[in-house]
Amino acid sequence: MAMASRKMHQCGFHVDQFVSVTGLRQDNRPLLLVADPVAHAGCGSRAATDLKQKLDASVHSLIRQGFAVRRNPIPVSPAIDSNKCIPRLYNNVILENVVRSGQKQPFVWLPHFGDEEALGEFDEDNRQIWAGLGFDPICVTGWSHLASRNGALRCATKVISRAS
């Protein structure tokens, strides 16, 4: 793969805030799900547009490096505790790459924000995207209170090793 440009900028604190590794392949290329920001609930388009331009540039770079990319909508919306326009981190998921015994699809734990905010349509859109990719989405509510701190699902987890 080609080396990334020295002028490359990463959006967010961690790549997994805006990019989900799916473990799938499309056209023999690893498939990534990359956030596509949308201004919402009174947030001016500038915050969403700036983030979208950075993520669009990241998508072009990822495609050049051999990845397939699908986009998922994320709102840039006022945080419930600060009113600051903040993106909701739907890409920060916990993903299983195997099907559990008795299940038909692997699970993906997906943060949801519609329990506290008028973001139910984004919850549903992102749930449908993951279901369409062949996963069984498990909705995890309560993330609105951590949005202003860039809190997300994977940030609140610890990977442990289990004996068989």
Task: Supply the pTM of this predicted model.
Answer: 0.84
pLDDT in tens, 77-114: 998 888 888 899 999 999 988 899 999 999 999 999 98
Quote the tokens at residue 116. Answer: 């506290």
- Is the model more confident about 13 or about 100? 100
3-state helix, strand, coil in the chain (%, to 5): 30, 25, 45
Q: Which residue from 49, 10, 40, 66 is spatially nearest to 125, judged by alpha carbons?
A: 40
